Amino acid sequence: MEKRYASALKPWKSFIRILSYLKYHPIMTTCVILVAIINIVVSLIGTSILKPVIDDYITPTLEGIMTFEELTSSLIRLSIILLSLFTLSFILAIVQILLMVRLSQKAVTRMRTDLFKKLQELPLSFFDKTTHGELMSRFTNDLDLVNEMYTNSFLEILTSTGLITGIIIMLYVTNWILAIIASVMLPFMILLIRRFIKIAHKNFDATQKSLGEMNGYIEEMLSAQKIIKVFNKEEDVEKKYDEILTRMTNESIKASFFSNVGIPVVKNYSSLIFIICTLIGSALAFVFKISWLPLTTGSLSVFITLICQLYRPLNRTTNQLNIVQAALAGAERVFFILDMENEEDDKKEKYVLSKDMYWIKGEEKIPLHGEVIFNNVNFSYVKGQKVLKNISFFAKQGQKIAFVGSTGAGKTTIANLITKFYSIDSGKITIDGIDINDIDRKSLRSVIALVLQSTNLFAGTIMDNIRYGRLEATDEECIEAAKLSHAHEFIVKLKDGYNTLITTGNDSLSQGQRQLLSIARAAINKSPILILDEATSSIDTRTEKLIDCGMDELMKGKTVLVIAHRLSTIRRSNAIMVMENGEIIERGTHEELMNNNGRYHSLCTGKFELN
């Protein structure tokens, strides 16, 4: 069976962990529990009053011992007491609901916050294997189900559990023989319900996973509409969507069936207990009349009423199975992420970057220059499939080192390793002579500015997106960075200029314009190490030449690593590394490599094309 169909392993552990979020709000939680206890006590008092009403008032009146006026007066007093109790219970129930709504929102908000923070701490490899749709499903579908469980099911389960406990205690107080008979029959009903719960939970878990898969697929298809339409793949896309939807629907039907089938089971089994206890109780009270086991009409009425009341909390609890099972399945998916290991970072003392641009560890103080050295570095995304093989090179401050090669040669991987998005298999990477494993991760990434081929702009103004590179930058500095990247020219032509809003999925900016903004964001960062990964791939040749002039100013004094397909962008590099199959097969300046008549010469003269 595929992993997505696997049932939840520890539902009770997940249930307890969900409730553990209530500990952060002890006062509200305590108030909710106290109000629940008061309501339960009031309900049981209301039932227990039935015995004195029958035995002390109604029966004596029928036997002529008490007058009708005395009966009426006594019943009015008892009615006033009961009305007062139930009015108090009603008011407290309203307060309880208000508290529980606030409590559930606060608990789920904390879970959402924990999940979001956790995603910021997970390694990049996690996002390589997980679709955005699946992650969004955790935040929406899964946590919405948990919220529903907090709001509705928690109160029902809390109240019903307390009421069942109170009823069982009162059953034994009223008549222990009948209570034993009822207790012997109850476990069979509980076993049946547990069986239904187990089957339902398995299918609810599968439903939630299929829902996450469907969300991921929908997101992927929505973002690829142009490709789908140009290749006439609409029918294929619809067919796969129908497959996922059909599977999810079947799993949901099974889950709902086994969850709801417990309701008639509880109802009919409770009726069976009621009939048996009524027959035996009537025989004990009116036929056998055992002296050492007195059972009055009032006691029997209380016992039968309690048996009827026992059905209601059991039924309400069973009714909540749908919500609880779905919430547990969703919560386990959330907890699975929360329990994942963060990016590797041992607890030993690390070098950190000081405000005066020094690497500091204890008494040691090393000036920041941004010198990068790879020494026999090997790396693989998948164990046993090497992507980089014995890579060695150095890049000093003020140098521009370029990497060129076919797609899949390992160029972008080098950038991923410098930023420590992934850990190397063997070898060593140093910055200013310090192993990057000995540098605090945040300090390491603070000295690197990265411009990727795929541009990521955030919701906000153009000015906000440029300032993202250095939040304390002034407007003037942002504009200067935009001029350096030649983004200023198109920005000022926009209606709102630098205050133009960028929204998710907004196509008002071309890919080239977005890339210019990415370069401006890197320009304002002022980091000593600059990595350009196909940074000008979406920009026309004319604009690229203009940017090239501005880049000289941007690169001044920095260690620059350039990954490019366009050979025109790397001619003036201090060194060019030609890569193939994860290895550096040639290295040297443009002139040296041209004189070697090797792969680089073939690329420049058109005898060989990058693939």
For 583-604, write each residue's pLDDT tens digit. Answer: 999 999 989 988 888 888 888 8
126: buried, middle or exposed (CB in 10 Å: 19+, 13-18, 0-12)? middle
How many CA atoms lie within 13 Å of 321's alpha carbon, on the beta-carbon side? 26
Query: For residues 95 and 258, what is the distance between their CA atoms, to the nearest angstrom?
Result: 34
| Residue at 268: amino acid letter | N
Confidence of residue 111 (pLDDT cuts 50, 70, 90): very high
Query: For residues 88 and 62, what is the distance between their CA atoms, to the nearest angstrom?
Result: 33
Confidence of residue 375 (pLDDT cuts 50, 70, 90): very high
More confident call, 568 vs 147: 147
439: buried, middle or exposed (CB in 10 Å: 19+, 13-18, 0-12)? buried
Architecture of domain 106-338: Up-down Bundle (1.20)
The most confident of the ranges 49-53, 346-350, 541-545 is 49-53
Query: For residues 596 and 588, what is the distance between their CA atoms, to the nearest angstrom?
Result: 10
> 90 CB contacts (<8 Å, ≥6 apart)?
none
Residue of 358, 363, 380 whose CA lies nearest to 434? 358
Query: How far is residue 235 from each of residues 222, 224, 240, measured CA to CA in Å?
Result: 15, 14, 9
How much is the pLDDT for 65?
A: 79
Tell whether the model's pLDDT for residue 506 goes beyond 60: no
User: Which 3 state secondary structure label does DSSP give 232?
Assistant: coil
How much is the pLDDT for 1?
A: 32
Query: For residues 371 and 477, what is the distance between their CA atoms, to the nearest angstrom?
Result: 26
| Residue at 91: amino acid letter | I
Angle between the 321-338 and 234-260 helix axes, to the nearest 10 degrees?
A: 120
The pair of structure tokens assigned to 275 is 């009939």
> 310 CB contacts (<8 Å, ≥6 apart)?
164, 167, 168, 182, 270, 273
Number of helices (H), then strands (E), belonging to the chain: the values are 24, 15
User: Domain 353-447+527-605 belongs to what topology?
Assistant: Rossmann fold (3.40.50)
Which H helix or E strand runs over 192?
helix 176-223
Give the Cα-Cα-Cα angle 354, 423, 518 (nearest 5 degrees).
65
Confidence of residue 507 (pLDDT cuts 50, 70, 90): low
Tell whether the model's pLDDT for residue 404 goes beyond 70: yes
How much is the pLDDT for 427?
A: 93
Give the Cα-Cα-Cα angle 385, 386, 392 (nearest 5 degrees).
175
The mean of the pLDDT values for the chain is 81
Residue of 176, 192, 177, 248 whose CA lies nearest to 218? 248
How much is the pLDDT for 364?
A: 87
The most confident of the ranges 117-131, 185-199, 363-377, 547-561 is 363-377
Confidence of residue 84 (pLDDT cuts 50, 70, 90): confident
Angle between the 176-223 and 154-174 helix axes, to the nearest 10 degrees?
A: 170
Tell whether the model's pLDDT for residue 245 goes beyond 70: yes
How much is the pLDDT for 212?
A: 74
Residue of 47, 304, 48, 37 whose CA lies nearest to 163? 37
Please check whether residue 497 is in contact with residue 417, taking contact to mean a CB–CB distance below 8 angstroms: no
Beta bridge partners of 430: 373, 435
Residue of 391, 53, 334, 393 whose CA lies nearest to 205? 334
How much is the pLDDT for 8?
A: 46
- Residue ranges of E strands in 233-367: 352-353, 358-361, 364-367
Mean pLDDT to the nearest integer, 248-274: 75
Lowest mean pLDDT among 215-224, 346-355, 451-460, 542-551: 542-551
Question: What percent of the chain has a predicted confidence (pLDDT) above 70?
Answer: 87
Pairing mode, strands 501-502 and 364-367: unpaired
Tell whether the model's pLDDT for residue 297 goes beyond 90: no
The pair of structure tokens assigned to 95 is 């307060």
Question: What DSSP designation does 422 have?
Answer: S
Query: For residues 415 and 176, what is the distance between their CA atoms, to the nearest angstrom?
Result: 76
Tell whether the model's pLDDT for residue 114 goes beyond 90: yes
The pair of structure tokens assigned to 574 is 């201090």
Beta bridge partners of 461: 501
Mean pLDDT to the nearest integer, 138-166: 86
More confident call, 473 vs 540: 473
How much is the pLDDT for 518?
A: 84
Residue the block writes with tokens 């990954």? 563
Confidence of residue 607 (pLDDT cuts 50, 70, 90): low
| Residue at 194: amino acid letter | R
What are the sequence ranges of the domains in the chain? 106-338, 353-447+527-605, 458-525
Residue the block writes with tokens 């189900």? 145
Which H helix or E strand runs over 330?
helix 321-338
Question: What percent of the chain has a predicted confidence (pLDDT) above 90?
Answer: 12
For 379, list phi and psi in degrees, rounded to 5.
-155, 145
- Longest CA–CA span in the chain (Å) reads 127
For 22-51, write each residue's pLDDT tens digit. Answer: 888 888 888 888 888 888 888 888 888 888
How much is the pLDDT for 463?
A: 92
Tell whether the model's pLDDT for residue 226 goes beyond 70: no
Tell whether the model's pLDDT for residue 357 goes beyond 50: yes
Mean pLDDT to the nearest integer, 525-536: 82
Query: For residues 422 and 403, what is the distance between their CA atoms, to the nearest angstrom?
Result: 19
